[in-house]
Structure 1
Amino acid sequence: MIKDSNEQDSKKTETGLRTVQRAIDILYCFTLEEQELSLTEIANKISLAKSTTTRLLSTLEQNNLVVKDPLTLKYRLGEGIYYLGYVAGKSMKIREIARPIMEEIRDKTRETVNLYVLEENSRVCVEQCEGLHSIRHIVKIGEQLPLWTGAEGKVILAYQSLSFQQKIFEQVPSKERLNCLKEEIEKIKLQRCALSIDEREVGSAAVAAPIFNINGEVRACLSVSGPTNRFTPEVVEKYKLLVKEGAKVISEKLGYRE
């Protein structure tokens, strides 16, 4: 009898978990491209019977997580989702999200890993994991640095508006360097990473990748920096992959979706 009771409890738990997962699947049906969906479209997306989908939608609707248009009979995400997203966004701190990812990259590269944010017309290092080598590259936390030079500055600049870029271009000391910067910005957007060798500081190099927020904006970047002599072509390619992947994970944790 005890065994049968345990089995029943286990089945109830499994059924409950399956119901929760199906409800979550429904919420993830909605995207920026498909903000309104019919019952049939939702049922097809999650491969579920219309009767079951209807019951789940009814519960979500009661909790204001989805809303049904009385004219089109289509569903969209409700204000409850907006509220939860707002609360989540307020509680997310990029430094806390990035720190474990930065430590992992630092351990793999043994070089210094930095987190920069855009602040007015400059970039500022707000978090850093110091390299494990005796000779390593260090940036002062809170120090304002230019956007037109260095991998970190260039990768943030590449994703700003044309009017903003124009203001930064005025800071570039020579026409030749400005032309090079403009060409590089186009490549950075294609490759989603930037490289600098002996650029802002002679003897130092860096690889950086953009971090996107929930609105698809770039207000921060992740980088690996160290002495130039250790940044060989082979090493640079390896670091590019690590930094791009790390920046992608941080972006996703901030709510960004491709």
Structure 2
Amino acid sequence: MDIVTGVGVLDKAMTVLQSVADGPQALSQLQQSTGYPRATVHRLAAALESHGILRRDVDGRFELGHGLVALGSAAQARFPLVELARPILSELRDRTGESVQLFVQEGRQRRCVLSLETPHGLRWIVPEGSVFPLDAGSAGRVLSAKGAATGWIESVGEREAGVASVSAAVRGPAGAVVAALSVSGPIERLSRQPGERFGDAVVAAADELFVSLGG
């Protein structure tokens, strides 16, 4: 897990849930992937199953539950940013040829809520749902309200060696920063001046999303 809340049972339950995110797992696989005792894993998985958060597939393996579908639909309805951003980020990805992401702030961290990958074999992959600090990387600095006269902020090997990125702020109708839109990839392609290459395109996409949000 990227976040440890200090509420032990909640952190453990989320670790179990994240372990089946990529596919169903038998109890023995869950025990191995989480590192928890068998009895603990079974207790947590059974409780999550009772709430519809997990379910069993035809082979008896634990799988993501149907209860998550309703929760996901409710979250999407109340948070339309992602679906509004998807076609804009898709166009930006196709225009730049690089991976693009959308981050929102959660406390002192930032979470990737949308990630579209480049077709290049050599790429920087940011899974949706990933959490990163605010104090490193161009998106983190955008969300920390560290502006730039250019409208974009770049980062070269700041959070991850060999990776460059350029980000711009997405503002809501009231003018507050609601997200950071980024292009990221290997320094070999983005160079050590990623802002010069893609800054204007990132700012234009962020502005387009601002309009879509009613700005």
TM-score, with structure 2 as normaliser: 0.61
Checking the alignment, whether the CA contact within 8 Å between 1:208 and 1:224 is kept in structure 2 is: yes
In structure 1, the residue matched to 2:100 is: 113
> Are 1:214 and 2:173 counterparts?
yes
Partner of residue 104, structure 1: 91
CA distance in 2, matches of 1:136, 1:233: 16
- SS of 1:220's partner is strand
Give the aligned length. Answer: 139
| Alignment correspondent of 1:241 | 200
1:205-257 CA-to-partner distances (Å, cap 9, x unmatched) read 1000000011111020110000011122676323101100000000111122x
Residue matched to 1:181: none
CA contact (8 A) 1:92 1:254 kept: no
Could you tell me how far apart the structure 1 residues matched to 2:212 and 2:93 are? Answer: 20
SS in structure 2 of the partner of residue 191 of structure 1: coil
Counterpart in 1 of 2:141?
A: 154
Residue in structure 2 matched with residue 197 of structure 1 by the alignment:
156
- The residue type equivalent to 2:83 in the other structure is E
Give the TM-score of the pair, scaled to structure 1: 0.51
Structure 2: gaps (5+ residues): 1-76
Q: Is the 8 A contact 2:164 2:191 kept in 1?
A: no
- Structure with max Cα Rg: 1
Q: Give the share of equivalent positions with the same residue, in percent.
A: 37
Q: Are 2:152 and 2:195, in contact at CA under 8 Å, matched by a contact in 1? A: no
Contact kept? 2:165, 2:194, Cα under 8 Å? no
Distance in 2, Cα, partners of 1:124 & 1:201: 16
Listed as ranges, the gaps of 5+ residues in structure 1 are 1-89, 159-184
RMSD of aligned C-alpha atoms? Answer: 1.7
Per the alignment, residue 173 of structure 1 pairs with none
Structure having the higher strand fraction is: 2
